[in-house]
Amino acid sequence: MDLGISGKRAIVCASSKGLGLGCARALAEAGVNLVMNARGEEALEAAARAIRSDFGVTVTAVAADITDPAGRDAVLGAAGATDILVTNAGGPPPGIWSDWSRDDFIRALDANMLTPIAMMQAVLPGMMERGWGRIVNITSQSVKAPIPQLGLSNSARAGLTGFVGGTSRQVAPSGVTINNLQPGIHATERADVLDSGAAKAQGISIEEARERRAAMIPARRYGTAEEFGAACAFLCSQHAGFMVGQNILLDGGAINSTM
């Protein structure tokens, strides 16, 4: 299917690895020129080089912390007029409700709520003026079914989801869509970190921890960054213009709900 977005310009935040990289690669395959971002320069440059060589699109790599205002300015400055924005950042650490201080909450809110909101506020005026735009926020299945040990993530992503619910309806008349993709368990470094923690807590190997988690998913496996990226590229396509303010689960059926 031709996604109809060849030649458009996208910012994909936190995209040297994992789900962000999956989104960047799928957009590049559709002919979209990219500004990619991550803190670690080496992995970011390697990912950018591979995309240029595989898909022949223009890729600008900006090594910066997207949760830092100066980092966001660097990314936005490199991008200029932006047609597509994918927001993403690392997820907060696990724990229990009594672990987290005000500072921990502020860090999580900054990374997973206020940073995507600031990025949206920066690109929305231009998108609305030009009458076309696509924004996809990478959130989490925890918005639909909170994960007890990820209380920081549950809190921040619920706030972002509320903002998108209202804002997406305000900008839709200008041809701009905002939707959230909610990953369930995907095979990325983030999943490795969570599996290592579970293995340590339960006194089992990481492979066993992985098998136990996969067994709880109806698809009986973790998702891939490629599958995730393809869904993201569709949401950014010409064909998705009537999808507004949706929260779309990609979880192999893990959350047993019709809502």
User: Which positions lie near ligand NAP, rule CB under 6 A?
Assistant: 14-20, 37-40, 43, 65-67, 88-91, 138, 140-141, 183, 185-186, 188-191
Minimum Å gap between C-beta 146 and ligand NAP is 12
Minimum Å gap between C-beta 235 and ligand NAP is 15
β-bridge mates for residue 136, sequence order:
86, 179
Q: How far apart are CA 131 and CA 129, in angstroms?
A: 5
Contacts of 142 (CB under 8 A, 6+ apart): 150, 153, 154, 157
Minimum Å gap between C-beta 222 and ligand NAP is 7
β-bridge mates for residue 183, sequence order:
250
Minimum Å gap between C-beta 210 and ligand NAP is 11
Contact status, residue 144 vs residue 160, Cβ threshold 8 Å? no
Count helices and strands in the chain by DSSP H and E runs: 9, 7
DSSP letter (8 states) at residue 91: P
Minimum Å gap between C-beta 155 and ligand NAP is 13
Contact status, residue 157 vs residue 226, Cβ threshold 8 Å? no
Minimum Å gap between C-beta 82 and ligand NAP is 17
Minimum Å gap between C-beta 67 and ligand NAP is 5
Closest CA to 88 of 146, 167, 16, 8: 16
64 phi and psi angles, rounded to 5 deg: -165, 160
Residue among 52 and 239 whose Cβ is closer to ligand NAP? 52
Residue among 147 and 201 whose Cβ is closer to ligand NAP? 147
- Looking at this protein, which amino acid is placed at residue 177? T
70 phi and psi angles, rounded to 5 deg: -65, -35
Residue among 153 and 171 whose Cβ is closer to ligand NAP? 153
Q: How far apart are CA 149 and CA 193, in angstroms?
A: 13
Residue among 33 and 141 whose Cβ is closer to ligand NAP? 141
Residue among 24 and 171 whose Cβ is closer to ligand NAP? 24
Residue among 138 and 236 whose Cβ is closer to ligand NAP? 138
Structure tokens at 60: 């600008």
Residue among 25 and 186 whose Cβ is closer to ligand NAP? 186
Q: How far apart are CA 112 and CA 92, in angstroms?
A: 8
